[in-house]
Amino acid sequence: MVYFIGAGPGAFDLITVRGKNLLEQADVVIYAGSLVNPKLLDYTKPGCEIHNSASMTLEQVIQVMEKGESQSKMTVRLHTGDPSIYGAIREQMDILIEKGIEYSVVPGVSSFCGAAAALKTEYTLPTVSQTVILTRMEGRTPVPEKEEISKLASHQASMALFLSAGMLEELSRRLIKGGYNADTPAAIVYKATWPDERIVRTTIENLSQAAKENEISKTALILVGGFLGNEYERSKLYDPTFTHEFREAEK
């Protein structure tokens, strides 16, 4: 059996209870070494076979899973954050299906949630934005043309940009071209929830400058939108004058 497990954004105690339990039982662990906190490997039992996937190909990863399976071992594939976001798990799962190897997925805390917690903020503020866009700039991995940043920017929703910290001048240009005001609040969150986490608050037009000043070019999320500002309306849910299924409005 193979378990794809979300390791969480960094802090070793932000893995789920289910993920930790499975990690403790694993005979084989393949972890994404570039972003998974190695302290999570302390949860494994003595003798657990450990592979760092940073230097492996898809074929090599599958080979390790197949070998484990042939010896009735339990394999954990540990992905950073939540495996469904830029985790490249679909291609692994499809090969496992072909090979008749059973697998299961355990979600994790994505870094965009870790970053919001670090900033003590809420993406979905009434009257500001009720939508979160998770996206990236294209790098060597292309992004479909219809999802080009300036098109997504036309919504001026809350946005979390992965894998883009090295392209901030172009990112700002596209965000502004698409509709955000140049002075829209933005944040760069480096290694959210890790011991060396850093938060840089800035504006969309100053993203690149702020990153340079703080020497951040990777392992960071870029957050942009009015949710980082100070203006919003109270929620209806907890408004004393608002009646809903579980509470009558106060007279």
Closest CA to 8 of 110, 118, 89, 161: 110
Separation in Å, CA 230 to CA 139, 181, 205, 223, 250: 33, 16, 19, 15, 28
Q: What share of the chain is helix, strand, coil (3-state, %, to 5)?
A: 35, 20, 45
Q: Which is nearer to ligand SAH, 162 or 227 (CB)?
A: 162
The answer to whether residues 221 and 112 touch, using CB atoms and an 8 Å cutoff, is yes
At 44, the amino acid letter reads T
Q: What is the C-alpha to C-alpha distance for residues 143 and 209, in angstroms, rounded to an integer? A: 25
The footprint of ligand SAH on this chain (CB under 6 A) covers a number of residues equal to 24
| Site mask for ligand SAH (CB under 6 A), range 157-186, x = bound | -----xx-----------------------
Structure tokens that stand for 20 in this block? 């930790």
Question: Which 120-159 residues touch ligand SAH, going by CB under 6 A?
Answer: none
Nearest distance from residue 164's CB to ligand SAH, in Å? 7
Pair 225, 207: CB distance under 8 Å:
no
Using CB under 6 A as the binding rule, whether residue 225 contacts ligand SAH is answered as: no
Contact between 192 and ligand SAH by CB under 6 A: the answer reads: yes
Residues 35-54 interacting with ligand SAH (rule: CB under 6 A):
35
The yes or no reply on residue 221 touching ligand SAH (CB under 6 A) is yes
| Region binding ligand SAH by CB under 6 A among candidate stretches 45-53, 76-84, 91-99, 175-183 | 76-84
Residues contributing to the site for ligand SAH (CB under 6 A): 9-10, 35, 79-82, 85-87, 110-111, 114-115, 162-163, 189, 191-194, 219-221
